[in-house]
């Protein structure tokens, strides 16, 4: 989901910014350190990489190509680690950086790519370390590799668990923020999110898209008669009944109060009118009993069509809302698909 993607991207931007600053500072320091030890290759790589990192800091907040720049950062970052580990001028303490690979991979690449990157580069690091610091004792070499391998695996497992938990919690928060607590329906925020996706598809493929605005008739009287608890039950009944008449691709949302909306991807004006009419008929024919008293509910609806009534959600909402109030003025329990004109199209219960 886009909302979740936006949150994940922002999280990864923060992580990458922190790593870039660490790279600029660390690269500058170690380049001088390696120059003093006549390690020109590693010093040159660190100076070049620190410069690249400094440039990335100027664009990372706004670039839409975050995965590309993440890859551009990580491949040289891990490769320099391997080069440093393989250099005879360096000490074995550089292996400490290898332990950061799983954390960095999972935080910047996610679960699947994080696991692949961790296994690849940690495996290379272990091989290079064993090649450089192996002794004549097979048992001693096995002990070193086992300890380093288990330590790396432990870090990777913890990084995997953390990232998985973070994604699950992020998903739960996103769902909570985009769901109406009373009816369990998506809310206005979710409607805006899904509309942007369907809008892009409609523009790209030329497919139709319609929006239906729904308003429960005489909802204030329902509250006055049955109290707010009865009003809540009426809203839940409304949501349950209408969902039964919609396709899986359709999106029924509660906008607030007694106002709802249905987004109908792939629906022509004729299709949308038929759907709205079937919803109206379904609600009118399904009564609700509250405290042993029957409640007959009806709705008024207005339609709006992508392109004809606008290209953004606010334009469609305005047009559909206007027609809904026209339906109420005309007597309620009806659907209006066009503005009041000689070509007005109205359907209502006879």
CATH value at residue 284: 3.30.70.270
- pLDDT score of 334: 94
Is residue 215 within 8 A of residue 300, CB to CB? The reply is yes
Residue 182 lies in a domain: no
Q: Which of 177, 200, 228 is the last residue of a domain?
A: 177
User: Is there a single domain that holds both residue 234 and residue 140?
Assistant: no
Cα 107 from chain centroid?
A: 16
Whole-angstrom CA distances from 99 to 83, 117, 121, 214 are 16, 13, 10, 57
Residue 64 lies in a domain: yes
- pLDDT score of 129: 80
- pLDDT score of 100: 87
Q: Which of 114, 146, 177 is the last residue of a domain?
A: 177
Residues designated as active site: 258
DSSP string covering 127-144, please?
A: HHHHHHH--S-HHHHHHH
Residue 333 lies in a domain: yes
Residue 103 lies in a domain: yes
Residue 122 lies in a domain: yes
- pLDDT score of 178: 87
User: Is there a single domain that holds both residue 223 and residue 338?
Assistant: yes
User: Is there a single domain that holds both residue 87 and residue 202?
Assistant: no
User: Is there a single domain that holds both residue 104 and residue 168?
Assistant: yes
User: Is there a single domain that holds both residue 166 and residue 227?
Assistant: no
User: Is there a single domain that holds both residue 167 and residue 215?
Assistant: no
Range of the domain at 108: 2-177
Q: Report the b/e string of 2-22 with b at 16+ CB within 10 A.
A: ebbeebbeeebbebbeebbee
User: Is there a single domain that holds both residue 103 and residue 213?
Assistant: no
Whole-angstrom CA distances from 150 to 17, 48, 67, 78, 217 are 30, 33, 30, 20, 66
Residue 339 lies in a domain: yes
Q: Which of 88, 254, 277, 115 is nearest to 187 (CA)?
A: 254
- pLDDT score of 346: 44
User: Is there a single domain that holds both residue 215 and residue 303?
Assistant: yes
- What total of structural domains would you count in the chain? 2
Q: What is the pLDDT along the chain (350 residues), one digit of tens a residue?
A: 444 545 678 888 998 999 999 989 988 888 888 788 788 888 888 898 889 899 999 998 888 888 899 988 898 888 888 887 887 766 667 777 888 889 899 888 888 898 999 999 888 888 888 787 777 777 777 787 788 788 888 988 998 998 899 888 888 888 888 899 999 999 999 999 999 999 999 999 999 999 999 999 999 999 988 999 999 999 999 999 999 889 999 999 999 999 999 999 999 999 999 999 999 999 999 989 888 888 999 999 999 999 999 999 999 999 999 999 999 999 999 999 987 643 334 444 44
User: Is there a single domain that holds both residue 330 and residue 302?
Assistant: yes
Residue 183 lies in a domain: no
- What is the C-alpha to C-alpha distance for residues 173 and 177, in angstroms, rounded to an integer? 6
User: Is there a single domain that holds both residue 22 and residue 87?
Assistant: yes
DSSP character for 149?
Answer: H
User: Is there a single domain that holds both residue 173 and residue 83?
Assistant: yes
pTM check: above 0.75: no
User: Is there a single domain that holds both residue 236 and residue 96?
Assistant: no
- pLDDT score of 77: 86
Q: Which of 120, 146, 177 is the last residue of a domain?
A: 177
Residue 288 lies in a domain: yes
């Amino acid at each position: 989901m886009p909302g979740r993607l936006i949150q994940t991207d922002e999280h990864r931007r923060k992580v990458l910014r922190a790593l870039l600053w660490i790279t600029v500072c660390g690269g500058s320091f170690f380049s001088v350190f390696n120059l003093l030890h006549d390690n020109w290759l590693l010093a040159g790589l660190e100076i070049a990489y620190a410069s690249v990192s400094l440039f990335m800091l100027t664009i990372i907040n706004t670039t839409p190509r975050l995965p590309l720049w993440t890859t551009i950062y990580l491949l040289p970052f891990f490769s320099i680690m391997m080069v440093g580990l393989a250099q005879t001028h360096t000490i074995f303490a550089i292996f400490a950086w290898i332990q950061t690979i799983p954390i960095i991979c999972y935080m910047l690449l996610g679960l699947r790519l994080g696991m692949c990157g961790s296994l690849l580069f940690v495996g290379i690091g272990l091989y290079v370390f064993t090649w450089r610091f192996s002794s004549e004792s097979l048992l001693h070499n096995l002990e070193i590799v086992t300890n380093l391998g288990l330590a790396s695996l432990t870090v990777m497992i913890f990084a995997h668990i953390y990232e998985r938990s973070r994604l699950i919690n992020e998903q739960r928060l996103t769902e909570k923020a985009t769901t109406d607590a009373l009816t369990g329906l998506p809310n206005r925020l979710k409607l805006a999110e899904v509309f942007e996706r369907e809008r892009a598809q409609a523009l790209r493929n030329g497919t139709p898209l319609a929006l239906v605005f729904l308003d429960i008739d005489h909802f204030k009287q329902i509250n006055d008669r049955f109290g707010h608890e009865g009003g809540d039950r009426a809203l839940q009944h409304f949501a349950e009944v209408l969902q039964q008449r919609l396709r899986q691709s359709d999106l029924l949302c509660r906008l607030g109060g007694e106002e709802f909306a249905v987004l109908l991807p792939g629906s022509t004006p004729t299709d949308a009118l038929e759907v709205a009419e079937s919803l109206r008929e379904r609600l009118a024919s399904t009564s609700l009993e509250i405290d042993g008293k029957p409640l007959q509910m009806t709705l008024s609806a207005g339609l709006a069509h992508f392109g004809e009534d606008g290209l953004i959600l606010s334009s469609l909402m305005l047009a559909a809302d206007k027609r809904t109030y026209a339906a109420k003025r005309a007597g309620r329990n009806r659907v209006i698909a066009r503005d009041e004109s000689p070509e007005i199209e109205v359907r209502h219960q006879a």
